[in-house]
Structure 1
Amino acid sequence: GQYCSVYSETPVSALADAGPFIFLIDNPEDGRLNELLKAPERNWGWLASVAPEAGLNELVRHWRERLIVGIRPHQALYRFHDNRVLSRALGHLTVE
């Protein structure tokens, strides 16, 4: 399968080896995925479905564009892939 580090080619590229990574799953019927799905408490990440025409490069570009928030010198790394950060962010959003 194909994969890409979200942090590579960004201002935080020094963290690229630490993740997050986006993987294309060529065979979703592979039984090894079931083991991950049975244990979400291990915080291994999350799965998303992407339309085939989007492709890996478009998906990585999308997340890279949203990775750094704020205006210099008050910028921060938005760890959208961290469930703790995501749950806190969702708590500040309205349903709309």
Structure 2
Amino acid sequence: MMKSVAFLVALLAVASAFAPNNASPRTSVAVNSLFDDSDRNKYGARASKNLTPKDIGSGGYVPDGLSASEYNSIRKNEAAKKAANYQRNVAKAGKSKTH
């Protein structure tokens, strides 16, 4: 008898541990109002940011076999290709293909 009472008490304790607690409702804090940046999550907002690669200085990394100016030009060409691809995708945003 004592074992079955102990088992029922343990079972009740485990069940109540996983039950939702409705005693105090959650309150929401409007964190977004502190950092009001309405264009942050819009598709195409990358154009308004300065994301160009900086020039390599005297202490920067330059791969073997290239000069700093050659490496800078390669990096700028890659950044231009990336920006052009992004703008191409921005132009397609919101448009759907019909078959």
Compute the TM-score of the two structures, normalised by the length of structure 2: 0.27
Q: Per residue, is there more strand in 1 or in 2?
A: 1
Compute the TM-score of the two structures, normalised by the length of structure 1: 0.27
Q: Which has the larger radius of gyration?
A: 2
